[in-house]
Amino acid sequence: MTSTQQNYVNGEWSDSENGETFECTDPAAPDEVVAEYQRSTAADVESAVEAAADASEEWATMPAPQRGAILREAAANLAERKEELTQLLVREEGKTSGEAGGEVQRAIDIFYYYAEKTRDLGGSRKSASSAGTDLYTVDQPVGVAGLITPWNYPIAIPAWKMAPALATGNTVVLKPAELAPGTALALAGALDEADIPDGVVNVVTGKGSELGPPLIEHEEVDAVSFTGSTEVGQQVYQSATDAGKRAQCEMGGKNPTVVGESADVEQAADIVANGAFGVTGQACTACSRAIVHESVHDEFVDALVARAEDIDIGPGDEYDMGPQVSESELEGTLDYVDVAEQEGATLETGGGQPEGEHLGDGYYVEPTVFSGVERDFRIFQEEVFGPLVSVTEVADFEEALETANDSQYGLSASIVTNDHEEAERFVHEVESGVAKVNAKTTGLELHVPFGGFKQSSTETWREQGDAGIDFYTIQRTVYDEF
């Protein structure tokens, strides 16, 4: 029997005002319903924001280590449910078991991390110019935070927004993506079991187009944090800032890996394949452009094709690569395959839907490699949210760097090289918020800043680590002359 999940508002599990629900299905078996969720309305958002506003003062004035103790207990609650949440993530989003388990662990680690950070919150003492003056700063929460998160990391991204917001004394209203909201509700459940005060955490499910505007524009919401597409993110940022709110938006990517003349080709193929085909290419940091020196180009293409063709595709609990999250995402990837062929790129492998009895009607696509991709091709310039990587040949490092930077996006970039001077120049001159040497474009540490340049970010505030704390706090300077 299909379970029906409720919103979490003001410390209670409740149905939406209109009583309507929607279904989430398994992308590996679209006829199988995973769960039903509340199709919330603007009125439900209103209730959630009011609850968060009412709880704001009590939570803000609670000693930070006490808030940390609640986050720590929530992390332990998540850890107890790790296997259950891993399987939910596999069924709702399509990740493999290994990928899903890693993401759940990431959420657990984030809550533990910010639980410990609460011990260091408060402000700093400064030296005054006159005797008898005590000069210091006080960090205080911004207030109510509206969080809007995507489907591709449906527990990790809500965690890395929610945990620093709560640690610093803010209350939150979370609107998770409609395609995979189950694990986001599990975060609320873990905090509820940890006895977080009513109204501090609120989660409402439903369509972003219907719930986003009333959340972003509500007069009681003080800060807005969004992760998703560039098109939507720009609209969110405009609406939030027009309403005078603090806002951060992390958006799309078109991430390059440069393969230098001195690169170990086998290593380079591993790095690009892992970055391009992991999580079915459905990561904003996924590698979608391989920019390869002409001296190793042919060897690299052969090695990358071999790795793509060695990937076993199927349901996430048994295979190397799972399905795309929805039919529309699958169609989008297949459309780009057609576009690439029309533009004159060479299809080296993949490009279609795999066959096999175990695949059923799932939203599967083959890992795809195109060579002969020029810089003005759409698959070079536009984000393809699927396991598709383009290969562009270059004559030298200067051309490689110029080619890597020829994009409206600037989220993550990497280089594979044994030339230290090239590596140093790359990390200083590449136009991206994350730069890696001899590593894949995906994969982030939780204690360092994350964010992009150009159209990948609003470039206002970074996420994670101390940067996450900065976004959710504002400083007061105190002069005490007793």
Torsion angles phi and psi, residue 333, rounded to 5:
-65, -45
Predicted confidence band of residue 481 (pLDDT cuts 50, 70, 90): confident
Q: Which one, of 57, 364, 343, lies nearest residue 197 by Cα?
A: 57
423 with 440: CB under 8 angstroms?
no
Q: What's the token pair of residue 310?
A: 């060695």
- Average per-residue pLDDT for the chain: 97
Per-residue pLDDT of 399-452, as tens digits, reads 999 999 999 999 999 999 999 999 999 999 999 999 999 999 999 999 999 999
Full set of structural domains in the chain with CATH: 7-251+458-480 (3.40.605.10), 255-437 (3.40.309.10)
Per-residue pLDDT of 441-475, as tens digits, reads 999 999 999 999 999 999 999 999 999 999 999 99
Q: What is the Cα–Cα distance from 434 to 411, expressed in whole angstroms?
A: 6
Q: What's the token pair of residue 438?
A: 């001899």
Write out the catalytic residue numbers. Answer: 284
pLDDT-above-70 percentage for the chain: 100
Q: Which one, of 7, 167, 203, 143, lies nearest residue 74 by Cα?
A: 167
Which burial class, exposed, middle or buried, applies to 66 when counting CB atoms under 10 A from its CB (0-12, 13-18, 19+)? exposed
Q: Taking residues 336-364, what's their average pLDDT?
A: 97
Per-residue pLDDT of 44-65, as tens digits, reads 999 999 999 999 999 999 999 9
Q: What is the Cα–Cα distance from 116 to 124, expressed in whole angstroms?
A: 18
Residue 132: what pLDDT? Answer: 86
Largest CA distance in the chain: 81
Residue 122: what pLDDT? Answer: 85
- Whether 304 shows a pLDDT value over 80: the answer reads yes
Cα–Cα distances (Å) from 303 to 114, 307, 308, in that order, read 41, 6, 9
pLDDT-above-90 percentage for the chain: 96
Residue 261: what pLDDT? Answer: 97
What is the amino acid identity at position 53? A
- Whether 36 shows a pLDDT value over 80: the answer reads yes
- Whether 1 shows a pLDDT value over 80: the answer reads no
Residue 131: what pLDDT? Answer: 87
pTM of the full predicted structure? 0.96
Per-residue pLDDT of 210-249, as tens digits, reads 999 999 999 999 999 999 999 999 999 999 999 999 999 9
223 with 161: CB under 8 angstroms?
no
Per-residue pLDDT of 104-133, as tens digits, reads 999 999 999 999 999 999 888 899 988 889
Q: What is the Cα–Cα distance from 156 to 161, expressed in whole angstroms?
A: 9
